[in-house]
Chains A and B, each alone.
Chain A
């Protein structure tokens, strides 16, 4: 089998040879692409560089809940609006998908045959139909809602029409900042109480009602402060003026369609992950905890869920990543996210495809890396610890 090529059968030499070859070919390819690209760009009169970011965009963005956007604003601002919209739909979608997914995953394991079959049917339909189709379907349902003039009124303050959901906008008056400070302080102190209670339970075995005391701190204390300060918040109600509502908070159908489709689609996957996680905890654990007299809810909370989480979290992370990447499908219904606003309209207006796509891809990469970074920290905190 051994060849007589001498030095070529030396493993070290071969390793260096092949790696140099690959790097050389790669560099050659890169050089070729760069030279043809610069030639093509010159020939088509496409500008290069980043100065286009400072040029006025010249188009309007219909949905920008965090930043005020005018058509005279720059492409850089289009980018920021896009990033914020992407993050908005991703974060709300992840939260809703997690809650729905956990509920469905637990219901799927219910001893009630009918209920578990029903969830099974939902999961199979939702997983096996393309997400893009679901987004478009939700959007087509939402825009078939009644017109603004005949909008449905819910609880006297919400108006639902084909232009979206109109709700009162809270206006914060001076003094509200104290309430915010109280909420932040309450969050910090309940976190500290949680740590102290855990430590005390580890040492002495005594339990402390962490949940109810945290709820009290976070909700009741700021609420009392709110009334002491004389309710420093009012609502601006949407009012019918001409053909549309003026004022108030508006949630566009594009956002609602994206939110519903993303969370319902991802919840189906999460529910399967949760089911597999719970099933991975051996039956003996449940029986043993029942034998020492724990209540059903305590068994779930103290014994099953903490062990199931170890199995659940890694695939859950990849679902969050998927949801964030899938939020780029907003372009199909005109949701002004990163891909639609900056990678779509700005790209078409400036023609600087390479720069725009590079920015969009880099942004998604950094969002993905950030999510995996934090989920990895969380994952490490719940894994088995050798003591």
Chain B
């Protein structure tokens, strides 16, 4: 029996690094061939892209050591053999990309608003934050503070919204759209599931109508039709009109997501709440919605990612968001022809936000799966 207990080393071919390589990259000859082909392609592509974006690129100075102020001074325009991307355009126009045409003396207000936004999001993203309750109070009043801070009033000089632009507009549209669509979406979802036939029909019609038409038609609606619907003297700001359209759009999608959550709540929860004598609103606010929203957080984040990307559509109705500033820069003769650099930068900014959000939603999904087991009781 003793020799059976002799310690044997694991076989080299199936474990460890070599084993991993064998199983995942060189399992059989077709697999090995594919691996070699992919490695060859990457070998061709990666050095070229690294060279273009980093090693041969101009960041602030060209290869002659001059500070770049227009596209003619970019290394690759001086000497096509010498030079890759010309990131100087981002460097020179960075202010516009981040703040639009916000007056320089007032820009500290935007900076404070950005910092406050991060602070307001903190308790929403991180449930275990110490003193989360007090942070949440701040989150609730943040929109009011941000409005006065960015727009003016209460002693701040007024900054008209047509001076806003770049990342500022993208974030204002995204955050306001998501924040406003959330309560409206809850009401629509409850309305659609209501037992009152008129209310349920009206909510269903609204949701299906909005989901059946493209966002761009709603933006046109906000831009050209909304002014016709309103009495004389009420002149709505362009950004507000776009916000109305974006909020309507997002609330219909939010409603469907929340309805999905509501449908997952077992009927026993409703019955138990009713048998305790709770009214419709008490039942929904205290029992049903907290559970329904909890399980629909991942899809809520996903529709929010969709909205964040869709905010770029506002450039079609003439509002300069991040992409709009990029296109505006390209139309400037000083920076003609730098489309790849500008679109690369804008994509990167969007990617950082949306990829971050999608990672967050994955993390939540994992957390919820291991959390409370719904409906078992």
Residues 83-134 (chain A) with a chain B CB within 8 angstroms: 111-115, 118, 124-125, 127-133
Which secondary structure dominates chain A's binding surface? helix
Contact A129 B347 (CB under 8 A): yes
What is the distance, in angstroms, from B64's C-beta to the closest C-beta of chain A? 26
A36 near B: Cβ within 8 Å? yes
Contact B225 A354 (CB under 8 A): yes
- Add 5 more A-B contacts to A125-B351, A132-B315, A325-B213 (CB < 8 A): A112-B27, A112-B31, A137-B339, A137-B347, A365-B212
Which residues of A are found within 8 Å of B310, using beta-carbon distances?
130
A172 near B: Cβ within 8 Å? no
Which residues of B are found within 8 Å of A281, using beta-carbon distances?
none
B360 near A: Cβ within 8 Å? no
A-B contact pairs, 27 of them (CB 8 A): A18-B199, A33-B229, A36-B228, A36-B229, A36-B230, A40-B232, A114-B24, A128-B305, A130-B309, A130-B312, A132-B313, A132-B315, A132-B323, A133-B323, A133-B346, A140-B339, A140-B340, A325-B214, A329-B316, A331-B216, A339-B220, A343-B220, A354-B228, A357-B224, A357-B225, A361-B217, A365-B213
Question: Closest 5 CB pairs between A and B?
Answer: A113-B24, A328-B214, A325-B214, A130-B309, A128-B354
A136 near B: Cβ within 8 Å? yes
Which residues of B are found within 8 Å of A26, using beta-carbon distances?
202
B25 near A: Cβ within 8 Å? yes
B327 near A: Cβ within 8 Å? yes
Contact B34 A112 (CB under 8 A): yes
Which residues of B are found within 8 Å of A22, using beta-carbon distances?
198-199, 202
A15-B277 Cα distance, complex, nearest whole Å: 18
A207 near B: Cβ within 8 Å? no
A129-B347 Cα distance, complex, nearest whole Å: 6
Q: A22-B202, A114-B39, A129-B347 are in contact. Are A368 and B212 (CB under 8 A)?
A: yes
B358 near A: Cβ within 8 Å? yes
Which residues of B are found within 8 Å of A37, using beta-carbon distances?
228-229
Which residues of B are found within 8 Å of A1, using beta-carbon distances?
277, 279
A144-B338 Cα distance, complex, nearest whole Å: 12
A23 near B: Cβ within 8 Å? yes
Interface string of B181-218 (1 = CB under 8 A from A): 00000000000000111110010000001011111110
A36-B305 Cα distance, complex, nearest whole Å: 37
Chain A residues in contact with chain B, CB under 8 A? 1, 15, 18-19, 22-23, 26, 33, 36-37, 39-41, 43, 111-115, 118, 124-125, 127-133, 136-137, 140, 144, 325-326, 328-329, 331-332, 339, 343, 347, 353-354, 357, 360-361, 364-365, 368-369
Which residues of B are found within 8 Å of A114, using beta-carbon distances?
24-25, 34-35, 38-39
Contact A328 B216 (CB under 8 A): yes
Contact B216 A339 (CB under 8 A): yes
A7-B254 Cα distance, complex, nearest whole Å: 36
A144-B340 Cα distance, complex, nearest whole Å: 11
B350 near A: Cβ within 8 Å? yes
Which residues of A are found within 8 Å of B221, using beta-carbon distances?
357, 361
A368-B30 Cα distance, complex, nearest whole Å: 43
Q: A112-B25, A132-B323, A133-B350 are in contact. Are A19 and B199 (CB under 8 A)?
A: yes
A302-B313 Cα distance, complex, nearest whole Å: 43
Which residues of B are found within 8 Å of A41, using beta-carbon distances?
228
B355 near A: Cβ within 8 Å? yes
A23-B197 Cα distance, complex, nearest whole Å: 11
Contact A112 B216 (CB under 8 A): no
Which residues of A are found within 8 Å of B230, using beta-carbon distances?
36
A171-B316 Cα distance, complex, nearest whole Å: 39
B231 near A: Cβ within 8 Å? yes
Which residues of A are found within 8 Å of B55, using beta-carbon distances?
none
A38 to chain B: closest residue by CB? B228
B343 near A: Cβ within 8 Å? yes
Q: A40-B232, A325-B213 are in contact. Are A115 and B34 (CB under 8 A)?
A: yes
Which residues of A are found within 8 Å of B346, using beta-carbon distances?
133
Contact B38 A115 (CB under 8 A): yes
Contact B209 A364 (CB under 8 A): no
Which residues of B are found within 8 Å of A124, using beta-carbon distances?
355, 358
Which residues of B are found within 8 Å of A339, using beta-carbon distances?
214, 216-217, 220
A368-B209 Cα distance, complex, nearest whole Å: 10
Contact A328 B24 (CB under 8 A): no
